[in-house]
Amino acid sequence: MSDDGIRFATAGLFEVSNGDETAFLFEEDGAVIAIMRRGSGTAEICRAWPPYQKWDRKDRDRYIGGPVLVKWNGYYLVGGRKKTNENIRRTVFYWLKNDHLFECAELPSAGDNSYPGFVELSPKRAMVSYYSSHEKDEAGKPITAIYLAILEIEK
């Protein structure tokens, strides 16, 4: 934290030794929720409240690489790279409800892919960006490109 933007003091520590890619979402009441990838292992859902000295952590049963976490239409949406036991990689989105993840969308992707971005267009429509190397050039070599997709909530 900082009173002047020049000198900073530690407000709290999130992870000191095993942290990796993490997405944070700050709630209106000051609480923080985070989705953290722990190395090559599984993801954790983490929560803290001011003064952010203690984190509640719950290990999840899946890998989520390069995560994004947003609140959309009153619900939590998590996106990132999914990795299966067969080492297949896809960019996917999940609904997060009661600390459980429910897969809701898989985007065209493979190989090196992830780091989705999110822009809400309306309560039922959003645009996401992500990168993937699932397409090939004329020589058959994978290319990495940035993609845009539209997500829609049906109902």
Q: Tell me the two tokens of residue 140.
A: 């058959």
For residue 68, the domain's CATH number is 2.115.10.20
pLDDT of 19 reads 67
Task: Determine which of 2-16, 19-33, 114-128 has the lowest per-residue pLDDT on average.
Answer: 2-16
Task: Determine which of 10-19, 92-101, 115-124 has the lowest per-residue pLDDT on average.
Answer: 10-19
Residue in 124, 119, 125, 72 with CA at minimum distance from that of residue 94: 72
The number of distinct structural domains making up the chain is 1
Would 2 be classed as within a structural domain?
Answer: no
> Which residue has 């009153």 as its token pair?
74
**Residue 84 is part of which domain span?**
22-152
Spatial contact of 66 and 83, defined as CB atoms under 8 Å apart: no
**Which residues, 6+ apart, have CB-to-CB distance to 39 below 8 Å?**
18, 20
Residue in 24, 40, 134, 21 with CA at minimum distance from that of residue 80: 21
Would 14 be classed as within a structural domain?
Answer: no
